[in-house]
Structure 1
Amino acid sequence: MEDKTLYTITIFSENTVGVLNQIATIFTRRQLNIETLSVSPSAIKGIHKFTITSYADSDETMKKLVKQIDKRVDILKAYFNTNEDLVHQEIALYKIETAKLLATSQVEKLVRKHNAHILDVNEHSTVIQKTGHYKDTQALFDELAESIGVLQFIRSGRVAITKSKVERLSDMLAKREAKGENEQISRLVN
């Protein structure tokens, strides 16, 4: 992946059945792999936001992908960004054996060093949570795997927001609304 850039694709749609399948099909046709996927309601009521990461060789590849996604009936709008345009995080959970964790004298140091949180402790296992960028969550995994052993591990998809003041979709919808009002006024005048 050295010659490729990680892009974040943001897609807005209504919450309808089959949208994810349509999106995945477009990625497959373009022979692009989905690295991470996160879906949630957006700041705009009734609109869902898909946040997908994928490696590609150029902005041109992403422009073509986004253009093809935009053509789908169920999609309101799609955008792509690089890391510089976004504030983004992932969340990771690590399950480790409690006895092994307690056997090391470095528990507190490890948790503080990685700015992690202990979510659950029982006699068998301890669950640790870490939020951050991929390299941060991976660094904790590597250290835990090497020093204690990891029983279970899960990392979320990227969650991201743009550095701009509002969702880009908000701007687009406002422009559409203004354009619609102008068209109505011109019809009334003519």
Structure 2
Amino acid sequence: MNQEIKTLTISIYTENNIGLLNRISAIFQRRHINIESLTTSQSEIEGVNRFVIVVNITEDQAKKIMGQFEKQIEVIRAYYHTDEETIYTESCMFKIKSSLLFEEPQIQNIIKDSGTRIVTVNKEFFVLEKSGRRNEIESLRRDLNVFGIMQFVRSGRISVTKEEMKITEMLSAFNNQ
């Protein structure tokens, strides 16, 4: 029994049906598991979506909920992976008053040093975009917070596995039914 709590990335490959998100979140809710982030998009196979959900649970808990996910009619397959088994990133955007870009030279250094990209600049505000690990994004947020952030948004995790996943063949077979 592996009882150590880990950050796990759960990938759920599904048909795109209404109400599935509610049923997936209910599985976590019944077990009092908090979802750290959730992203959904089309997968590598047309007509098949992929949920990427980050949770802090034990591998034993993960194994149990994989079975619950796969009982859902629209779920084709569910997997979980540790951080060491995946390549992952998040994205964020910051909206900041334009005057600060010119009045605070420190902001220009923060932008340059953090690898942040300026998306747009107008008279009232400018928007920054950054992709990276959550700790990098949080560090940037702390640095910019000193100057005042008008708006901030961060995406959920997106990830791919380091090892080849056999899901592509399974999804191809599913798609050709």
TM-score, normalising length: structure 1: 0.85
* Structure 2 equivalent of residue 180 of structure 1: none
Say whether the 8 Å CA contact 2:14–2:48 is kept in structure 1: yes
Aligned equivalents of 1:168 and 1:116: distance in 2? 35
2:169 paired with 1:160? no
SS in 2 for 1:106: helix
- The CA distance in 2 between the partners of 1:90 and 1:101, in whole Å, is 24
How many correspondences in the alignment?
171
Stretches of structure 2 lacking an aligned partner (at least 5 in a row): none
Residues 94 and 128 in structure 1, CA contact (< 8 A), matched pair in contact too: yes
Cα deviations across residues 107-126 of structure 1 (Å, max 9, x unaligned)?
33211211000001111111
Q: In structure 1, what residue type is equivalent to 2:64?
A: K
Cα separation, 1, equivalents of 2:141 and 2:166? 35
The answer for unaligned runs of 5 or more in structure 1 is 177-190
User: Who is 1:170 aligned against?
Assistant: 168
Match of 2:99 in 1: 99
**d(CA) in 2 for partners of 1:117, 1:96:** 13
| 2:114 match | 114
Q: CA deviation at 1:173?
A: 5.0
Q: Following superposition of structure 1 onto structure 2, how do residues 38-53 of structure 1 map, counting pairs within 5 Å?
A: 38-53=39-54
Letter in 2 for 1:101: L
- Per the normalisation by structure 2, the TM-score is 0.91
String of CA shifts for 1:13-48, please: whole Å, max 9, x gaps: 011111111101101111111111111000012110
Equivalent position of 2:59 in the other structure? 59
Deviation of 1:137 (Å)? 0.7
The answer for the alignment partner of 1:141 in structure 2 is 141
Q: Following TM superposition, by how much is the alpha carbon of 1:164 offset from its aligned partner in structure 2, in angstroms?
A: 2.1
Could you say what the CA RMSD is over the residues aligned between the two structures, in angstroms? 1.7
Preserved contact between residue 12 and residue 76 of structure 1 (Cα < 8 Å): yes
Bigger-Rg structure (1/2): 1
C-alpha separation between the residues in 1 aligned to 2:15 and 2:101? 45
CA distance in 1, matches of 2:85, 2:136: 19
Encode CA deviations 1:92-113: one digit per residue, 9 max, x unaligned: 0011111123211123321121
Separation of aligned partners in 1, 2:38 and 2:111: 27
Distance 1:145 1:135 in 2: 15
8 Å CA contact retained: 2:107, 2:144? no
Which protein has greater RCO, CA pairs closer than 8 Å, 6+ apart?
Answer: 2
Shift of 1:83: 0.6
- The answer (yes or no) to whether the contact 2:88–2:160 under 8 Å persists in 1 is yes
Divergent runs of 4+, >6 A: none
Answer whether contact 2:45 2:172 (CA < 8 A) is retained: no
